[in-house]
Chains A and B, each alone.
Chain A
Amino acid sequence: MSKFDLTRRGVLKTGAITGAGLALPTIFTSGASAFTNEPMGGTVTLGFNVPQSGAYADEGADELRAYQLAVEHLNGEGDGGMLNTFSSKVLEGNGILGKKVQYVTGDTQTKSDAARASAKSMIEKDGAIMITGGSSSGVAIAVQGLCQEAGVIFMAGLTHSNDTTGKDKKANGFRHFFNAYMSGAALAPVLKNLYGDDRKAYHLTADYSWGWTQEESIAAATEALGWETVAKVRTPLGAGDFSSYITPVLQTDADVLVLNHYGGDMVNSLTNAVQFGLRDKMVNGKKFEIIVPLFSRLMAKGAGENIKGIHGSTNWHWSLTDEGSQAFVKSFGTKYGFPPSQAAHTVYCQTLLYADAVARAGSFNPCAVAEALEGFEFDGLGNGKTLYRADDHQCFKDVLVVRGKENPTSEYDLLEVVEVTPAAQVTYAPDHPMFAGGALGQCNAG
């Protein structure tokens, strides 16, 4: 007996049902949601995913302040900040595409799993159309992957690892902040001028994605100058007391210490290095020097006096005198009573850039937004002329080389800009070996 009992009527019936089933998604999408969390009412929701607890909570708090300021400006409240100086003029202070901007916040806790959970909740429960945030490369990479799967745009906050727009880049993810390669490219010429081309460098490196890429980038840039890399020592994240990593430096003939540390680790390792008299030491007839490739004002505050005279790089600093930076410092300073950090600046820019891309695309569809951001050139956001490169979704702009100020005039006046390195000097080919191994893939609209 045959198992298949085919009749003409049965085939027609099944065919009709299957056909209707297949057509169903298109029937719905033509009138209903065409992509994840399409805003239907008079509002649009953005998801701000920042560390509100954990080691980077202070940076997260500053990011949140900047996000709130950006939302105010997009909705036409306050003085408009950098909307007035932004080269693109499509944003009119009436929300995004006429929809009032509202936001939800999540706490990443500076942990990848917590960050993914809060981003997921904001997308699924709160209907966030875009997720933005950061303060750790590990977290940014994890959330970027989630947004790609969920079909929403991810506008990265503070993340400096090459991998974010290198091997882990995604079609739905965009980064305004600079990266470790750019730090190396910007610092190298300044270091050559200051310390010459015959130096021996000793690296202490935070043992995770960001630390590794920064160590690789800085070692490559300084070796190209003729420097020798004596040792690359990995230190556990949150080691606390770094004295047992600092004392071996005294026993080598290294005359430069490179601290690939960030946040609390950097504050502690730098403090230890200064306590052990490294800055007063003479090696090979040269004065011993310390370099901190990635600087931030919040870290400089933690390190206190130890930061004086030490060189590093930063994405932006409030003392810049261009029109955009001044407008932002004025808005932020008037509202909160102190100048913004580089973390605050980059997330404010990212929020404006997203809103602008939606307005230019005329749609919230992530694929349309991504297309509007790709290859977008702009100015007036505090870093000079900037390009959002289509190949890897990385912004290319000037990078600042800074130095801990010897005689600060206030508690915020901790860093001074030594050089503004032009974008051309920090630009690399999309297939550069330090960024190889990943692909953007296809944009996902959900």
Chain B
Amino acid sequence: METILLQLLNGLDKGSAYALIALGLTLIFGTLGVVNFAHGAIFMIGAFCAVTLSRLLSLSFETIDPTKVDFLGNPAKIKTPYVEAWFGHDFGGALIDWAVPLAILFSIPIMIAVGFAMERGLIKHFYKRPHADQILVTFGLAIVLQEIIKYFYGANPISTPAPDAFKGSFDFGAMLGFDPNMIIYPYWRLIYFGFAAVVIGAVFSFLQFTTFGMVVRAGMADRETVGLLGINIDRRFTIMFGLAAAVAGVAGVMYAPILSPNYHMGMDFLVLSFVVVVVGGMGSLPGAVAAGFLLGILESFASMNEIKAIIPGIDQIIIYVVAIIILLTRPRGLMGRKGVMED
């Protein structure tokens, strides 16, 4: 029972990352009709926004301490962060400690700008081209973005811890009447799950309850008619691209303490997120979210030792097996609409 609860929590957590990325992918596909393979790279850039802000806040000046020596035996240079010098040790220290949550604010304008630049600079030239061209160009873009990040930040993962207040884990077992320490879950992962729920809710509300959202939904259904009504649908779609980039970006920021960011983390998520989109149904936002959680939970259960003892290696293939079964029984995915990618 404990194992099942724990793996369920794990699955929800993994699923929330998949759902957030898949949501952005579906938004872009639904509005612009573009299969964006660079979306994983946007998630990765988001994570590196957290790394960057953490480094900016830790920028230090050096003073020489003659009482200590460095590794070469010279007088040691002591680093003091500027923010600590300017705002005092306590407040400056707290700013550095809270770098990851602060990076959410820092990342939103950056990610929207990255989204606009990608859409206006490259992707808009491929709207009328076949999907294969779009996949090739966005895949190439993802590799370019990866290499740029690697050039500046190196290839090793960079530890980006959560604030001290959120370190440690919550003992669900003790709360639910099980033995203590049997079902524990890190605070930050619980926060991530809550954060994903809020972001997903916000995106749906935005599309459902605002005029802008209504126009976008109308455009997703019939782009031509909306255009004929005198609405500049292209501009709205560009904004949606920026929004999708911001969603993936903040998902990346919040994921940084869970998985130390490295330059290829986006690619690791991208393939799975595409499976999520296909299983959920191309162009269906609720489908993407539902499939994200479903596959996250299944993947988590498949890596249980008891399951692997029966079917070795199942944890590696479960997502693809489920994808095959769903596509065979429901070719449009769980909630796919008729006519999407079928022309």
Contacts and interface: CB of A to CB of B under 8 A. Distances in A.
B304 interface: yes
B36 interface: no
A39 interface: no
Contact of A244 (B156, B264, B303): B303
Contacts of A298: 156
Nearest to B269: A240
B181 A329 contact: no
B2 A301 contact: no
Interface string B305-329: 1001000000110000000000000
A267 B156 CA distance: 9
Interface string B163-185: 00000110000000000011111
Given A53-B155, A275-B188, A302-B158, A244 B182 contact: no
**SS class, residues of chain A in contact with chain B:** helix
A304 B159 contact: yes
A241 B259 contact: yes
A277 B185 CA distance: 8
B299 interface: yes
A267 B158 CA distance: 9
Contacts of A243: 10, 13-14, 189, 258
A54 B155 contact: yes
A442 interface: no
B268 interface: yes
Given A271-B260, A281-B181, A276 B169 contact: yes
B109 interface: no
A344 B165 CA distance: 38
B156 A264 contact: yes
A231 interface: yes
B72 interface: yes
Contacts of B75: none
A303 B159 contact: yes
Contacts, number: 124
Given A250-B184, A281-B181, A318 B71 contact: yes
A247 interface: yes
B157 A267 contact: yes
A54 B147 CA distance: 10
A339 B216 CA distance: 56
Given A240-B265, A276-B184, A247 B158 contact: no
B262 interface: yes
Interface string A302-335: 1111100000000000110000000001100110
Interface residues of B, number: 47
**SS class, residues of chain B in contact with chain A:** mixed
A56 B155 contact: yes
Nearest to A240: B268
Interface residues on A, range: 35 or more
Given A231-B305, A240-B265, A276 B186 contact: yes
Given A231-B305, A243-B14, A275 B258 contact: yes
Contact of A268 (B154, B155, B182, B259): B259
B169 A277 contact: yes
B300 interface: yes
Given A57-B150, A244-B7, A302 B157 contact: yes
A410 B71 CA distance: 9
Contact of B262 (A264, A275, A304): A264
A141 B194 CA distance: 47
Residue from B14, B71, B76, B308 with most neighbouring chain A CB atoms (10 Å): B71
A244 B159 contact: no
Interface string A16-32: 00000000000000000
Nearest to A306: B159
A66 B93 CA distance: 37
B336 interface: no
Contact of B184 (A268, A277, A319): A277
B8 to A, nearest CB: 10
Given A251-B2, A267-B260, A244 B186 contact: no
A247 B7 contact: yes
Contacts of A306: 159
Contacts of B155: 53-58
Interface string A260-275: 0001100110011001
A409 interface: yes
Interface string A26-68: 0000000000000000000000000001111110000000000
A103 interface: no
Nearest to B3: A251
Nearest to A282: B181
Given A275-B186, A276-B184, A248 B157 contact: no
A301 B305 contact: no
B6 interface: yes
B310 to A, nearest CB: 14
Interface string B45-81: 0000000000000000000000010111000100000
Nearest to B262: A264
A409 B65 CA distance: 12
B315 A244 contact: yes
B301 to A, nearest CB: 9
Given A267-B260, A338-B71, 12 more contacts: A240-B265, A243-B258, A244-B10, A244-B299, A250-B182, A275-B189, A277-B168, A277-B186, A280-B168, A301-B159, A302-B260, A412-B71
Instruction: State the 10 A-B residue pairs at the shortest beta-carbon distance, nearest first.
Output: A304-B159, A57-B155, A244-B303, A277-B169, A275-B186, A58-B156, A267-B157, A302-B157, A244-B300, A333-B72
24 contacts: A54-B155, A55-B155, A55-B262, A56-B155, A240-B259, A240-B269, A241-B14, A244-B14, A244-B303, A247-B7, A248-B3, A248-B303, A263-B156, A268-B259, A275-B169, A275-B188, A275-B258, A276-B185, A282-B181, A301-B156, A329-B71, A330-B72, A333-B72, A339-B71
